[in-house]
Structure 1
Amino acid sequence: MHHSRLCTLVLDCKVDDLEESARFWSAALGKPIASLDQDGDGRYAELETGPDEPIILLQRVEHDSRVHLDIETDDVDAEMRRLEALGAKPVAFKHGRWWVMEAPSGHRYCVVRRQRKAFGPHLNRWD
């Protein structure tokens, strides 16, 4: 048995500096900026969201700008296998920490470890 839920909306931004993008999305969504440089490497910015809302993360990328989802789980490999059985394809195992997956529709998304201390509401249980 494992658990999972939608946890993050990731705005992939093909930009040199995330600050302008973070300020735009902050104003557009009415969410204050929590961090302009989450990990100290200029790759991630985060907007403030409530504990019952998905995290909104901006990620500086080399590919074209797009939006992708993260699904958090307490068992990354079990969730990857569950989604693969539904027709998704594993694309890459990143840094031994998360799977990049592709849905049958061609959309890319990630399966990641739990991102917040408590899973909170909207949790799915898979046997």
Structure 2
Amino acid sequence: MQTASIPSQEHDMAHRSRLAGFIIDCNTDNLDAAADFWSQALGCSISNRDAGDDTVEYQEFGDTPGDLYIEVQKVDHASRVHLDIEADDIDAEADRLEKLGAKKVAFVKRWWVMEAPTGQRFCVVKMKQPELRSTPNEWD
């Protein structure tokens, strides 16, 4: 996992965030088979088998409960499930969560990997399509 050190800044601007969805991290050589299993297990379709880019390999699901974003992602670490929180200002959201007791683990590619006070890892990612799904929370 490549990491970059990003200096923490105080963010006084209001920002918005919300639960984006769940990422099923799969340590596998066959992401198609993993996506097939999870789509059938969850009763969702695979809407995009080529959703990744040259930095990450993943597949997106469609027909998800509550229009949550759900994907399977090929990873090098142990398989697990993590959630993503999306924000229109990821640095401000990471700072807000730090004040609540979370820790910044690393800035990876274009998102923050965080750790909750109880040990679970999660990511803070850039908000996509703010007009879709649930209304984001607004933070001062």
Is the TM value for this pair above 0.5? Answer: yes
C-alpha distance after superposition, 1:44-71 (max 9, x if no partner): 0111036952111111011111000000
Correspondence for 2:88:
74
Q: What residue is the counterpart of 2:61 in the other structure?
A: 47
Does the 8 Å contact 1:43/1:59 carry over to 2?
yes
Query: Structure 2 matches for 1:15-26, cutoff 5 A?
Result: 15-26=28-39
Q: Which residue in the other structure is 2:137 paired with?
A: 124
Give the secondary structure class of the aligned counterpart of 2:67: coil
Matched, 1:105 2:118: yes
Deviation at 1:29, TM superposition (A): 1.1
2:74 to 60, 64, 73: 60
- Residue segments in structure 1 that go unaligned for 5+ positions in a row: none
The one-letter code sitting in structure 2 at the alignment partner of 1:23 is: D
State whether structure 2 residue 49 is matched by structure 1 residue 36. Answer: yes
Q: Percent identity?
A: 51
Cα distance, 1:2–1:69 mapped onto 2, change above 3 Å: same
Q: Report the residue type matching 2:62 in the other structure.
A: E
SS at match of 1:121: coil
Consecutive aligned runs of 4 or more in structure 1 exceeding 3 Å deviation: 49-52
Conserved? CA contact 2:44–2:64, under 8 Å: no
Partners of 1:68 and 1:38 in 2: how far apart?
18
Confirm or deny: 8 A CA contact 2:86 2:126 kept in the other structure.
Answer: yes
Normalising by structure 2, report the TM-score. Answer: 0.82
Query: CA RMSD for the aligned pairs?
Result: 1.8
Aligned residue-pair number: 126
Structure 2's unaligned 5+ residue stretches are 1-13
In structure 2, C-alpha distance between the alignment counterparts of 1:39 and 1:46, rounded to whole Å: 9
